Structure formats: C-alpha cells, structure tokens
Structure 1
Amino acid sequence: MSYEFNPESKLFEFPNPYKIQNLALLAAGGLMSLGGIGTLVAVRERIAQGADLPALKVIGIAVLLLGLGFWFLARAFVQLRYFFGRNRPASLAPVVAADVDGDSNGARFYKETLRQNAISYPEPRGALNGLLYSMLPSLIFAPRVIQRAAQSQFYNFLALAATFVSFLICWLAFGQSRADGWIGLAYGLFAFFQIIRPMTRSAAGATDVQVGKGSLIALVVLAVLGPVMLGMFASRLPSLDEVSVNGVVCVALLCALLSCAVFGVALKNQLRGAPDAVGAARVMDTVTMNAHPNKLIEELDRILMSRWYSNIPNRRYTRRSPQITGRQGQFAAEMFEETQPRPQANRVAEGIGHALSTPRFFWLTCLTALGLAGVLAGRSPPCWSARPSCRGRRWPAPPHLPSASSRWACSV
C-alpha cells in the first residue's frame, strides 16, 4: 500500500474501511487463541499419565484453534492502518514511462470506449444468472468481482437449500437406524465443500459462474434419491458407536443459508440508486504555428499538467510522438492519459454506531456479526462428558465436578 504524506492536504486520509471487520477479527482471533491454549492446559494432566490417540486428537484440535486464532489476529493487525496513495486504485491499463512512446491493448480498448461515448457491460449467461439479475437489475453495473461473488453465493444458496431439504428427509426417515451416524457424515462432508467452495475461488482469476441444466438435475437427483440410496445401504454400513453429528450439520446448514440470505440483502442495499453518469466532452481546435511538431506536444503536456489532480501526475497509457521526414510534411501524434482517481466521500463506516444507523452498512455489519457468531459457535470450549467406556481407564474428574465415580473423557 502506497502512502504519501502531505501536510497541506488531507485528501487521502479518511477513516479505515476495515474498522468494523477488524473488531470482529480481533474478537474471533483472541477467543480462538484462548480456546486453543485452554485446551492444551486441560489436556496436560492426561498427557502426563500417558499419551494415547484421543489425547493426541485433542492436541491436534488445540493446535488448529491456535493456528486459526493467530491467522485472524494477523489479518486484523495488517488492516489496523489503511493508506490510500497515488498508486491506488490500480491503473486501467499498463502505464507508459515518461518520455517514452508506447501503447497497449488495454489503452486501445478504453480509447474506443471514449470514442463511442458508452460503456458496454457483458450480459450474464445461464438460467440462474438470468433469475439473479432479474431480482437485482443494478447488479450488471457492479464491478466484475462483485458480480462473481453474487453469482457464486446465489448458486450456493440454492445448492444448500436442496441439500438441507434432502438432509431433513433422510434424517426423519432413517434417523433411528444404523445409518444415523452416516447421515450426518455424508451430508456434512457435502455441505462442507459447498460452503468452502466460494471462498477458495480466487477473485482475480475467477470466471463468471455458469450454472447449467446439468448442475440443477444433479442437485435434484441428489435431494430425491440420496435418502433412498442411504437407506438401502444402511444395513451394510459399519456401526459408528453412537457417533452422530446430525444436529451439528443441521445447525451448520441453517447458518450457511442465513449467511447467503444476509449477503443478498446487503448486496441489494449496496446497489441502491442509479449508476454514476458517464460522459465525454469532445473538443476540436485548429492551431497555426511555425515550429517543430514536438513543440505542439510540449504545449499539450503543459495543458494536461495544469489539470493534474492534487498535483499528482497523470497516468499515461498512450504516447506517440510526431514523426516527419524532411523539413515539412504530414505527421500524426497521440496522447492518452488519466487523472489520479480520487476517493469518494461518505463511503466508509466511521464506527459501529454509524454502520448500524446507515442502511448502506447495516446489513454488511450484520453479515460480519454473523460470521463472528459462527466462529464463536464453532469454537466450543474444552468440556468433560460421561461416557460408558474408555479403554478401561479411570480418569480424574475435573475440578468443577463433585466426584470421580464415573469414567470421564475430554472432548472439544
């Protein structure tokens, strides 16, 4: 991130746009780190009596909690300060160095856009994209990265909804059979990949999400026949010894559906209003001068320099100096530059109170809070639960329980 300090201008000094997200990251990272440390402390006495597989699993979970907690904290620390300098945002096309002739495909594209005095937006393709853009007409004017995220989350919402309906049918129909534990594992694994998939796609290299008839047919077949197939093979599946994560999977699917819905509402509030008006001013003039054509280019350079925004040099995308043969004749020259982009006012939430009182930021804040609640719900503290057997070993009761008459197992 570039930063330029100018005591005479506070143009690029505005509130940190990551302020609310940093609060959530610090809270989540701190609690997960404390949970990991607390789990390690709780399992120390168990390790002293002899390490076994359950204890090693608990240590692995503690290390995972510490890793995630430190990752959240590190991300918040990086975003504690936000600087907007002359190199932000990124240039529209490759920049040509000073006193060097050059051009690029990107520059030619934007020159043609100015000549046409219109900006073209690619039309969405696919059945579900057509449904999405009919509900959010202004989405077509949003940046491509926002469109890709909206398409991905919309498809994810439909896929998770079909998975949730299929899971409920399967749970109610075969929840009392030997397949009870396998129901949660199978649907939990499928839901995990559905939830993680949008987050693993690179925003820079991702393409538009295309959902065709094949994907829809596969989801419908899975929702209808999945419970039946699982019931057919229930008798052949090995027993999981009362291990069941059906409740966890049900809550996780509901939270994922709620997150996708809040994302849609937040996006709708962000896209309110008409897009900014775009126009081009055409100026044609005739110049009579008795000098070398380079003098004309120098004069144009001085005119453009007088229009620099906040004395920041323009971004030069095309420059073609005049070339003539002999003492006189025709020549051609070209210059294409962009003034420094400027930050827009009132586009940053100054605090939680401002975010909650502004419709533009309210649902984004709710989405951040929902993510924090999901992290806290997933990080369950170390607890002790009575179990019928544990390799014949009697473990000591934790200090907050009255006796050690039963066998106890540490679970996270």
Structure 2
Amino acid sequence: MAYEYNSQDQRFEFPNPYKIENFFKILGAVIFMMAGMWLLFHAKSVLHNNLLAAAIPLLLGIGMLGYGGLLLAKGLANLKFYFGRNQPIGLAQEFSAQQLGSTQGAQSIKEMLRQNALSYKEPHGSVNGILYSIFPHLIFSPLFIRHAAEVQFQNAIVFIITLLSALVAKLGAAPNVAEWLGIFYNILALAILLRPMASPKNVSQDLGVSKVIILVVIAILGPVVLPFFTQNAVAPTWLPGMDKAIFTLIAALIAIGLFFLAVLAQIVKKPPQASTGMVQDSLSMNCQPAQLFDELERHLQNQWVSAIPNRIYSRLLPNLELNQERGSFEGEILEETQPVPVNTRKDMTLSSCFKEAQYRWLGVLNSFGILCFLVAVVLLGLFATSLYNGRFVDFSYFGLGFFGLSMWILGKFCFDHGNYLWSRFDFVSTLIWVEVKGNYQLSRVDFGRYLEDTIKTQKNVINVETMTLRVWYAEISTTTFGKYQQRSILNMVARKDAALELKEHLATFIQDQSMIVAPTANTDLSRIASINQINHAMQHPTQAANAAEIGITMAEATFNLNPTTTNTGTSEAQVPMFCTGCGYQLSESMLFCPKCGTKKAS
C-alpha cells in the first residue's frame, strides 16, 4: 500500500511505535550473530581433525546466525515508520464515489447506530468465566486483547497445574519414573509455547474441566501407570529430565505472566460511552430525490478531514419508475470520515518506556526474552563444543542442548507475542448515516396566462409529500493491532448537533428548489423584455402615438436596439420600459413592477 503525504497536515506523522522494540530486536540479533560466528570459527578450527566434531557447531552456528539476521532485518525494517493518509483499513468493504451498493459489514454498522449501542461477543467456557469475573471490564476491550487474555490465562492455568503435577510426580515417583515424566512435561511445555498467538479471526479454545482432570490424573496415576508402558526401562539420560522440566515450566510461567500483565495494561478500564445522535423530519418537495443526494455529497465533501475522501460503506440512490404515475423510493449513504491518529503516544526512550503504565510490562517482557536468549546461546554453545570430545559422543550434553532449545523458544515467545502489543494504533473518526424514505407522484405544472401571455412554460414535476429524512451522527474511537489489521470500535459518542445541522441544511436545500422553468441567461431576459414590449404595444395601441410609432417600436425591439430620437435639442428620448412578467409599463425610476413584483430588466 502506498504512503500518501500532505505537507499541510502533519496529524498523520507520529513517533515510531516500534522504537523500543527495535532496540531489543537488534540486541537479540547481536547476541545470536556473535554466538553463531563463534560457533562457526570453532567448527573451522576442529574441521581438519574430525568432521563429526565440527558438524554440530557448524549447524548450530548457521542456525543462530540466520535467526540473528532475521531479528536484525525486522529491527532495521521498522527503524523508520510510515503511516499514510490512506490507512488504516475501513470498518467494512469500501465503495468508490461512483459505485452503488451495500455489504453485510455496512449493515452491522447501521444496526449499531440504530440500536444506539455497541455489540460484544459473550465469553464462553468455565475458565473464561473466571477470567471475566476477575476482570469484568475486559469484555469492552478489543477482540484481539480479549482473545490474547483468554489464551494466556488458560496457558497460565495449564502451566500451574502442570507444575503442581510435576512436583507431585517428582515427590511420589521413583527417580527413573520421574525422569520419564520429565520428558513428557518438557514436550507439553514446548507444545504450549509454540502455539500461534491468538487472532481476532480465530475463536480462542476453552481449557475445559476435562483437560484439567486429565492433568490431575496424570499427576496422581502417572508414577504408577508409566512403568507398565516403559517396562522399567531406564530413561534416556540425553533427554531433559524432571529437574529441567520444572525449571522450564517456571520460566514459561514467568513469560506468560509478563505477557498477561502487558495485555491487562491495554484493556478498557471502565465501561465505554455508546450513544448516537439521531434526528428525523418529515419533508415535502417538488424535485427529483436524487438531487437531495447530490447536495448531500457536496456538503460532506466540504467537510472532508484534511481533504481526504470519506470511506463510503453504503451508497443507495433513490430509483424512481418514471413510467408510473406514483410509487415509493428509498436511499441512503453511510460514510466514515478519515480516521485520525490519537497522538497520545510519545517519542519514548528506553527509560521512559518502563515508567509508562501501558508499555512498562512490554519492556519487561522483552527484557526477559533477552535473558532467555543469553541462557540459550550459552547452553547451546556448551552443547555444541562439548558433545564430541575427540574420542566419543558424550550424550549427557544432550540435556543441555534440549534445555538451551527450550530457552530459545521461550525467548522467541516473548518477542513474537510482544510485537502484537507494540503494534497498537488508536484513531478517532465520525460515522455519518443519512436515510430517506417516501412516496412520489408525477404531476404537470403549466405557468403563464393562456389568453394574454405569449411565453408560457410547462414542467413535469415529481411531487413528494411527507418524505422521512433521518440523520445519524456519531464520533467513534477505534483501535487496531497492525497497520493492515481490522479495527475494533472502543466507544461511540453522540454528535446530535452535527446531525441537526446536516438535517437543517438538507431541509433548506429542498425548500429552495424551483418547480417553474424559466430562462436565467441575460440574453434570454433581454429578448423576453423585447417580446413583452411588442405584446404590450399590440394589445394597447392607444398608448402609441400612431402606427408608425408602433412599427418603430416593433423594429427596435426585434433587433434589440437601444433607440434614441433626436429632438430639436440635444436630449435623447428613450423607449418606454415594460415589465417582463406582466407587461405593465414602467417608469425610469421604478426598480420593480408595482403589479407583479418582477425586477425590472436592466
């Protein structure tokens, strides 16, 4: 998507939201790239002695170097942040100014305005019931925040139960059985950490009572049942045992807890406002209803924010069957003004990040991720360099390798999940919905006196009586997590003053519409004046001195001259002026006709 810039409006230029996250990503990239280079040089030094001794350091070095390069690329890509005038995306499918139609998304917005309320999905499941009881205002938060909180709350419960289960199993099981259970708990912890982040498009999974019961049964019966499956076989020493599993579970609980606190820092703290300003009126007019929408579009264009076109979500123009004498019609326009960023985000520094409530826990989460990365590269470095001692493979170091891999995954969890919250953007915009419904009847209007006037007009008129006009106005606050992600409406404030102003403007426009066809050009008015002079002279011949004078008047009027008659003196006699509306003779000092009130032609 292109970046649109306007030098006259800087409201769309605000500090880089990824500034602090970029610092952590570049720091993590340095850690992995330095560790990867060290392993590559180590592989080079032992390659001439033994290929097997160089294989593991070589592979891990390439992997660390690649992941460090990935973190560096992401950090450098967001060093400069652009937010164009054409962002964020609309609340529903958008239409161009020439398109007609509506969508299901537009229907949802109209229903929200009509109901004068915001709609929220109800939480489901027993575990979510606990969560929403502890944090009752969480339901008013964006859908992404709700799903993230639900998933991490369930993960926290799973890890707590798993940790308790592991502790019970360690205390009540034989050492060999405990090591087998430790392998299971390590796999379970990594599987949970590798789960993708909650998305607003995906419904979060409920933990459920059944899963809790399974974990409790494993803790109690696992030490007794597991020997039947292992046949008392010795647990592999090169796999992570119970001690490493417990440590991994504790570290994962810390990471999940930090992310959960970061999510809670961005939830809605109190019930939002939810109201719309609506006015309606009953109007009558004698014109095509489409003219009303032409004026509406002109008026809305004059109020564009920073000269940026409104987002059109619904545009339905009245469709009249002109081959029928009467019928009904309806039309509507639903638009949103350009969302303007709420510039509450300051140009943060690393120290100020830990002082702001909304970003404090995000900074702590990324710091914990850096710590996990440091532990991971140290353990994996020891594993790669000590696995083969030149004579044989020491399998005891495999435990360090798996544990280091667990820390790597845990650090990646902190960085990936924190990125979603760093990507939050808040906006303010206005929703405008205008709806008309009415009945019409075709009529014909003749203007002019049949026996006296030479010029008459006729017009087929669309007569509309008691048309219903409704106008909704609401200022909304929206948020999104990512420039190209769907927005969520946080609150809605009524703008009844703006709705009333728009309704009065449209009502005034309707009253100003003329139902009489009349010429407006200066040339047409001049020629009509001449014709009226001829008509008046022909109908009142006594007012002329003689037939020759009438002929002169007719000739002069026909050629639209400015006749003058030279007397014995130097003064000029002007031809009498007549009203263009009724033909009444006007004096030079008159500006309007005393009979019909028509303005005298110049």
Length-normalised TM-score, structure 2: 0.60
| Equivalent position amino acid for 1:351 in 2 | T
Identity, in percent, stands at 31
CA distance in 1, matches of 2:22, 2:73: 10
- Give the deviation of 1:386 after TM superposition: 11
Question: Residues 15 and 345 of structure 2 are in contact (CA less than 8 Å); yes or no, is this contact kept in structure 1?
Answer: no
**Alignment partner, residue 194 of structure 1:** 192
Which of 334, 342, 353 is the aligned partner of 1:344?
342
Q: How does 1:216-255 map to 2 (within 5 A)?
A: 216-230=212-226, 236-238=232-234, 240-241=236-237, 244-255=240-251
Per-residue Cα deviation, 1:32-74 (whole angstroms, up to 9, x for no partner): 111111111112222211212x532332222221222122112
CA contact (8 A) 1:132 1:151 kept: yes
Which secondary structure does the structure 2 equivalent of 1:96 belong to?
coil
> In 1, Cα distance between the equivalents of 2:384 and 2:100?
74
- Whether the 8 Å contact between 1:162 and 1:219 is mirrored in structure 2 is yes
Indicate the residue corresponding to 1:372 in structure 2: 370
Q: What is the aligned counterpart of 1:353 among 347, 351, 354?
A: 351
Change (3 A) 1:217 1:384: closer
Cα deviation digits, residues 211-263 of structure 1 (max 9, x gap): 32222222222232233334555663245357655444333211111122222
Aligned: 1:318 with 2:317: no
Is 1:135 matched with 2:134?
Answer: yes
Per the TM alignment, residue 139 of structure 1 is displaced from its structure 2 partner at its CA by 1.0
- Do 1:308 and 1:314's aligned partners in 2 also have CA atoms closer than 8 Å? yes
Q: What is the CA–CA distance in structure 2 between the aligned matches of 1:336 and 1:259, rounded to whole Å?
A: 45
Corresponding residue for 1:404?
A: none
Task: Give the equivalent residue in structure 1 for 2:412.
Answer: none
Alignment of 1:148-159 (within 5 A): 148-159=147-158
Determine the C-alpha separation between the residues in 2 that align with 1:157 and 1:388: 35
| Distance in 2, Cα, partners of 1:317 & 1:386 | 62
Q: Is the 8 Å Cα contact of residues 322 and 332 (structure 1) preserved in structure 2?
A: yes
Matches within 5 A, 1:32-181: 32-52=32-52, 55-174=54-173, 177-179=175-177, 181=179
Contact 2:92/2:106, CA 8 A, preserved across alignment:
yes
The one of 252, 274, 277 equivalent to 1:278 is: 274
Instruction: State the Cα distance separating 1:346 from its structure 2 match.
Output: 1.5
**Once the 2 structures are TM-superposed, how far is the Cα of residue 102 of structure 1 from its aligned partner?**
0.8
User: What amino acid sits opposite 2:288 in the alignment?
Assistant: H
Q: Distance in 2 between matches of 1:51 and 1:388?
A: 13
| AA at the equivalent of 1:352 | L
Kindly indicate whether the alpha-carbon contact (under 8 Å) linking 1:166 and 1:227 is maintained by their aligned counterparts in 2. Answer: no
Contact 1:36/1:62, CA 8 A, preserved across alignment? yes
Whether the 8 Å CA contact 2:183–2:241 is kept in 1: the answer is yes
After superposing the two structures, state which structure 1 stretch, 127-136 or 378-387, moved more: 378-387
Instruction: Give the superposed CA RMSD.
Output: 3.0
Q: How far apart, in 2, do the equivalents of 1:375 and 1:41 lie?
A: 20
Separation (CA, whole Å) in 1 of partners of 2:119 and 2:388: 68
Aligned-pair distance for 1:171? 3.4
Q: 2:267 & 2:385 partners in 1: Cα distance?
A: 53
| Distance (Å, rounded) in 2 between the aligned partners of 1:218 and 1:385 | 37
* Stretch moving more, 83-92 or 11-20: 83-92
| Gap change, CA 1:137 and 1:348, over 3 Å in 2 | farther
The alignment covers a number of residue pairs equal to: 395
Q: 1:311 to 1:119 in 2, by over 3 A?
A: same
TM-score normalised over the length of structure 1: 0.86
Which amino acid counterpart does residue 35 of structure 2 have in structure 1? G
Distance in structure 2 (CA, Å) of the matches to 1:130 and 1:18: 34
Cα–Cα, structure 1 residues 182 and 82, in superposed 2: closer, same or farther, change >3 Å? same
Deviates most, 160-169 or 105-114: 160-169
Higher relative contact order (CA 8 A, sep 6+): 1
Query: CA offsets, 1:10-36, max 9 Å, x none?
Result: 101111111111111111112111111
- 1:14 match: 14
Q: Which has the higher strand share?
A: 2
* Aligned-residue offset at 1:157: 0.6
Report the 3-state secondary structure (helix = DSSP H, G, I; strand = E; otherwise coil) of the residue aligned with 1:57.
Answer: helix
Deviation at 1:289, TM superposition (A): 4.3
Contact (CA 8 Å) 1:148, 1:209: kept in 2 or not?
no
- CA distance in 2: counterparts of 1:107 and 1:283, whole angstroms: 20
Which of structure 1's runs of 4+ aligned residues deviate more than 6 A? Answer: 384-389
Look at both structures and tell me which one has the larger radius of gyration over its CA atoms.
2
Which residue number in structure 2 is paired with residue 24 of structure 1?
Answer: 24
* Amino acid paired to 1:8: Q
